Amino acid sequence: MKSPSLRLGSLPPIRISGGTLATLLILAVVIHPVIALSAVVGPGGAIALSLGISLFMIVSVLVHELAHALTARLFGATVDHIALTLWGGHTQYRAERMGGLPSTLISLAGPLSNLGLAALCTGIASLVQGATGPSPASLFWENSAWLNVALAVFNLLPGLPMDGGRALEALLGTVLRSRIIGTRITAWVGRAIAVAVVAWPLWNLSRRTSVSTGSMLTLVWALLIAGMLWHGASRALEAANLEHRIQSLDAARLASPVVLVAGALPLSRLPEVLDAGQEAAGASLDPSAVMVLEDGPPPRALQIDPSALGSVPPDQRRHVPVSAVAAPLGTVGELRAGMTGSQVVTAMLARPHPLYLVREADGTVIGVIRSAEVNAVLRGR
């Protein structure tokens, strides 16, 4: 089911998931004991105040994401949408090229907006402070200020998928000249933070003689957040590993030697064709390296089947064409020998085929690449 979207003028679409309501209620339950202990309001007022602070925190998350979105736009990125979810929110944007400094500033914009909100809330709290002590209004703004500080500090932690982790990832990528290394470091830091998020409430519970409902809810919330953090860090690590494997692709190096022949070539001439192919490739070849191309479009390839070849008596091979012992392999595409990394993947995705001939600039075929082999490399097999 698609989340409902909210449009506010020229701002990006804001998608609000059902999990946002759960976040609102969980925050209210966690905040309620603090408000109730203040004795500033009665039982009903404590519930209303807790819900109001929780609602303001949802607004604070929205401000946080809007800061990301507007900063991303400032640096030329296209913002697809802002999402409010069970875990808070995220901003989806696209940019063809984004340097380390812009990426860092986009990441830090969200936490900085929360620090700004915290300062604003503190100022308002001082203005509405009661003459004899805290008032309901000052309690609202004081707690909102502290929660915005907590939101900013948590997001500034230097591990993925937090904003601080993304900023550190960009800086490390620039300093180390390897975005992949930066991602791997900050992803592992993110995993360590996920463990700490659970360890902290567990340690607090172990020190208490009794367990309150609020403490158990805090632990459950910590487990959910830790799971989200671990999952996000793991996905970033997987993406970094995949990018590393993509960068390692080299069409010329991946190409297996191949000998192209006409389908009508007699089998008796196969040994001399293989000898010539071995001399050109500088490696030993067996009959399975011999391929026949049938006209397309797209061209189709056939490969000699060693068992079918072995069934033809030697004295009959001058009468039997290669095509008679060849099995179909599928359609054939082409790649340039100089293609590397994402160029190889982009070309293969643009025109999918089971096989690709790798050609030099002068048209010489240096080998063949099988899609299955490239997929195995990308999967790390």
Length of the chain: 381
Q: So what's the architecture of 251-378 in CATH?
A: Roll (3.10)
Which residues touch 214 (CB under 8 Å, ≥6 apart)?
29, 30, 32, 33
152-182 pLDDT tens trace: 999 999 999 999 999 999 999 999 999 999 9
CA 154, distance to chain mean position in Å, is: 21
Q: What is the DSSP string of 72-104?
A: HHHTTPEEEEEEEETTEEEEEEE-S---HHHHH
Name the pTM for this structure. 0.81
Residue 31: CB atoms within 10 A of its CB come to: 21
Measured N-to-C along each axis, helices 342-350 and 213-247 cross at an angle, to the nearest 10 degrees, of 90
Residues in CB range of 315: below 8 A, 6 or more apart: none
Residue carrying the six token digits 């071995």:
278
pLDDT below 50 — which residues of the chain? none
- Residue in 317, 312, 265 with CA at minimum distance from that of residue 290: 265
The domains of the chain are located at 5-247, 251-378
With a CB cutoff of 8 Å and minimum separation 6, the contacts of 230 are 190, 191, 194
CB 34 within 8 A of CB 143: yes
Radius of gyration of the chain from Cα atoms?
31
pLDDT at res. 277: 83
Model pLDDT, residue 214: 67
Q: What is the DSSP string of 260-321?
A: EE-TT-BGGGHHHHHHHHHHHHTS---GGGEEEEEP-SSPEEEEE-HHHHHTS-GGGGGGSB
Q: Single out the residue of 96, 94, 92, 71 nearest to residue 83, CA to CA.
A: 92
